[in-house]
């Protein structure tokens, strides 16, 4: 969760994944939290009707991708920590095999709505509807 005035940022980690994946996920989220102001700015623009659902999703995924690239660079600098990683470490392998952004984005499109399109529909669209009444 991104930080707000009343509380700092925090990361929850599933106990159902490997230790390598837990650590990889936390590292990614720490890089991702650095973009919280830009994510917030996109959310505000979308709530004000200045960017579309598609633009909100695309630009938000772009920020996630940047965080993932930074995470991958970090993981590569510390290979001894992750030397036990194998094919079962899904999060770690996803980060390490990060494709080009166009392929990353296309992957989300193939699976239907992106996470950010769902956020738009659940939180931003009702806000827009309320303000247009």
pLDDT digits (tens, 9 = 90+) for 74-107: 999 999 999 999 999 999 999 999 999 999 988 8
C-alpha distances in Å from residue 96, one per residue of 64, 68, 74, 76? 14, 9, 10, 8
Residue with tokens 């600098």, as numbered in its chain: 77
- Is the per-residue pLDDT at 133 higher than 60? no
Q: Say if 122 falls within a structural domain.
A: yes
Of the chain, the percentage scoring pLDDT greater than 70 comes to 97
Does the pLDDT of residue 7 top 90, yes or no? no
* pLDDT confidence of residue 108: 81
Within-domain flag for 78: yes
Q: Over the stretch 8-54, which tens digit does the pLDDT of each residue have? A: 888 888 889 999 999 999 999 999 999 999 999 999 999 898 999 99
Residue 67 lies in a domain: yes
pLDDT the model gives residue 132: 64
Is the CB of residue 74 less than 8 Å from the CB of residue 31? yes
Number of domains in the chain: 1
> Does residue 123 fall inside a structural domain?
yes
pLDDT at residue 67, rounded to an integer: 96
Which residues are 7's β-sheet partners?
A: 4
Q: Which domain holds residue 121?
A: 20-131
């Amino acid at each position: 969760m991104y930080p707000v005035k009343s509380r700092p940022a925090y990361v929850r980690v599933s106990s159902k994944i490997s230790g390598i994946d837990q650590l990889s996920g936390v590292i990614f989220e720490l890089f991702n939290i650095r973009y919280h102001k830009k994510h917030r700015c996109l959310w505000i623009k979308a709530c004000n009707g200045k960017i579309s659902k598609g633009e909100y999703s695309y630009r938000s995924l772009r920020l996630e991708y940047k965080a993932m690239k930074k995470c991958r660079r970090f993981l590569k600098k510390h290979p001894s920590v992750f030397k036990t990683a194998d094919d079962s470490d899904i999060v770690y392998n996803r980060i390490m095999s990060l494709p080009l952004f166009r392929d990353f984005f296309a992957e989300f499109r193939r699976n239907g709505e992106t996470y950010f399109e769902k956020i738009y529909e659940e939180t931003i669209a009702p806000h827009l509807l309320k303000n247009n009444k």
